[in-house]
Amino acid sequence: MSGCYSLHPATFVAVDSGQNICGFVTTGPCPDDEPATVGQLWALYVDPDSWGRGVGKALLTLARSRLVDQGFVEAVLWVLVGNERAERFYRQDGWVSDEVTRSDVVWGVRVEELRYRTAL
């Protein structure tokens, strides 16, 4: 892997003109059984009050750039099954579900997730 970033997960925040945090994105290496050339978008969240303002797209663009700078050529992410808004958002950016699902525990609650992939 090349690039100027460490290969540890990192989180970046988006702030509005009043310096209020309106979203964040976390990227890093893929912890799953994937080749070393696959990175992961670990989390992307935008405050609902900031939806429709381009915050999510800007964070996603930053995430892609960071993953490329780290030397990744492909990326994966996991979406909660049934989160149609998130699935639509990622599909519009070229992510494609590979139909792989997993069951995970998040904050003590069992959730089902669907994996998406994209070339970087």
- pTM score of the predicted model: 0.88
- For all residues of the chain together, what is the average pLDDT? 92
* Strand order from edge to edge, sheet including 109-119: 10-15, 21-29, 38-46, 74-80, 109-119, 96-106
Ranking 4-13, 36-45, 68-77 by mean pLDDT, the lowest is: 4-13
pLDDT at residue 78 is higher than 50: yes
The residue type of 87 is E
Residue 4 has pLDDT above 50, yes or no: no
Confidence (pLDDT) at 114:
97
Residue 96: count other Cβ atoms within 10 Å of its Cβ.
Answer: 12
Q: Of the candidates 65, 7, 62, 17, which has an alpha carbon nearest to the alpha carbon of residue 37?
A: 7
Domains of the chain: 10-119 (3.40.630.30)
Gap between the Cα atoms of 60 and 110, Å rounded: 26
| 32 band by pLDDT with thresholds 50, 70 and 90 | confident
Q: What is the pLDDT of residue 112?
A: 97
